[in-house]
Amino acid sequence: MNWRTELDPVLKEHCEELIKEVSKEKYAYKVADKPSRAQLWTALAVLTKKVSDLELRIKQLEKSQSKVENKKLKKNLKKF
């Protein structure tokens, strides 16, 4: 039995996507002394990159939101 068939359907979808992304780096982890460990580290790197990308997008959105709030504040202050 394939362990992936036993996953919760929501997790399974994410797992399958991660496996697809990690398999793009197959050439790298196949040449490692311990390919299964290298594959796990590759998966961790993929996930870490996703988190970093999201953190960067959040910072950009917060910065943009802050600029909008500052403009609104300046506009309201001019009324007084």
The pLDDT tens digits of the residues spanning 59-69 come to 999 998 888 88
* 42 in Cβ contact with 28 (< 8 Å): yes
pLDDT tens, residue by residue, 22-43: 999 999 999 999 999 999 999 9
Give the model's pLDDT for residue 77.
73
Residue 40: other Cβ atoms inside 10 A = 13
Give the model's pLDDT for residue 73.
73
Non-local CB neighbours of 6 within 8 Å, separated by 6+ positions: none
Q: State both tokens at 36.
A: 């299964």
Q: What is the pTM of this model?
A: 0.76
